Chains A and B, each alone.
Chain A
């Protein structure tokens, strides 16, 4: 027998705000702060993506199968699914979590390749704003760098 208990006390807009702020803190660390302290780098690479992922897990499991006609089989189904605010927020948090994690990966790889922080900044900003664009950009750049790095080591 399924009944409804007391609802969530925190409004969705507030959760949206927290998630955005957490993500922003992560990006600021990646883009402007030094990389020499592992504990500091741990925050945007693992801690914040983990926290965002946990928020995503809560939202998605609670709502993913509750929308009639929603699903992943067609664009129309996806549209219906994300018509529910909780799932729209889940989708947004998914972006934030994965973009930041990829940003962390790019930062570490770029440091290994010796790409200047000045050049890393636009790469990371692009990943922050348009996730996959930054990733594709970095992959392309990295392809040109790899041979040089191999001959150096």
Chain B
């Protein structure tokens, strides 16, 4: 780690306010690993002409790199609401390592499968790939489980002086966990589309690649998973601006949960989010 003319331990140059305890280091370094992976995958993203299921083959690992970098960095930042002793205690360290082990496994398998030109998720071609797909499900569970564990620790021992941030973190982390289990769990059994082939095709929403022709479960997965970023952020802003933090956090959580459930139902009946 970089220590620049400072007697206080600092985590990284970008976020100097973070402490450099074991949990923060573990989460932030995992996040940085993913950001760096995103950067070093850019050339192959441009060079590789293969298309898997209607998207450039490296688009999927790149989406995972961005979204999981955000996930682990969020855990690192939000954990600063709890005392250092709790943060570096056996519960968070244990579940933190479980999440990182899962990430390393998912990252390696996803990258290798992509380089091989085949699916990682939804792949039952061989017995080995069936087993790996199942293990990936367990890995994904451990990665979001870390969010729930953190929510519980913040609820029990978190700093309540910033009420919006405190409540936003708890609701955001916990509901993101629950909704992700439901939505991603369903997606893992039926595939990402409803009413279309797994290989996709047709009009898509730019950048996200969500279908405009049939039901797509990924928008609801996206909206629900990011509750863990939007609610703490809203609470944090409300605290700083001296706005009524609790109504804002509760109101936003109701809205965002409703949107994600509505998107889920819309996809289930086979309707696209934004019909072409």
Contact = CB atoms under 8 A, between A and B. Distances in A.
Nearest to B115: A65
Contact of B40 (A2, A8, A54): A54
Contacts of B116: 65-66
Contact of A58 (B46, B54, B118): B46
Contacts of A7: 49
Contact of B48 (A1, A53, A54, A62): A62
A62 B117 CA distance: 9
Contacts of B46: 58
Interface of A: 1-8, 53-55, 57-62, 64-66
Nearest to A61: B44
Nearest to B198: A1
B47 interface: yes
A8 B47 contact: yes
B205 interface: no
Contact of A4 (B40, B49, B53): B49
B115 A61 contact: yes
A65 B115 CA distance: 6
Given A2-B52, A58-B46, A66-B117, 17 more contacts: A1-B54, A2-B50, A5-B56, A7-B49, A55-B43, A57-B41, A57-B43, A58-B47, A59-B47, A60-B44, A61-B111, A62-B47, A62-B48, A62-B50, A65-B116, A65-B117, A66-B116
Given A65-B112, A65-B115, A65-B117, A6 B49 contact: yes
Given A65-B116, A65-B117, A2 B44 contact: no
B138 interface: no
Interface residues of B, number: 26
Contacts of A53: 40
Most buried by A among B48, B54, B117: B48
Most buried by B among A3, A6, A66: A3
Nearest to B40: A57
Contacts of B115: 61-62, 64-65
Interface in B93-112: 111-112
Nearest to B53: A1
Interface string B223-235: 0000000000000
A78 to B, nearest CB: 17
* Closest 6 pairs between A and B when the two form their complex, measured CB to CB: A58-B43, A1-B199, A62-B48, A61-B44, A58-B47, A65-B116
A5 B50 CA distance: 6
A61 B48 contact: yes
Given A64-B115, A65-B112, A65-B116, A1 B43 contact: no
B3 interface: no
B42 interface: yes
A91 B87 CA distance: 45
Contact of A61 (B41, B51, B118, B198): B41
Nearest to A64: B115
B49 A2 contact: no
A65 B57 CA distance: 14
Contacts of B50: 2-5, 62
23 contacts: A2-B50, A2-B51, A2-B117, A3-B50, A3-B52, A8-B47, A54-B42, A54-B43, A58-B44, A58-B46, A59-B43, A59-B44, A61-B48, A61-B111, A61-B114, A61-B115, A62-B48, A62-B49, A62-B50, A64-B115, A65-B112, A65-B115, A65-B117
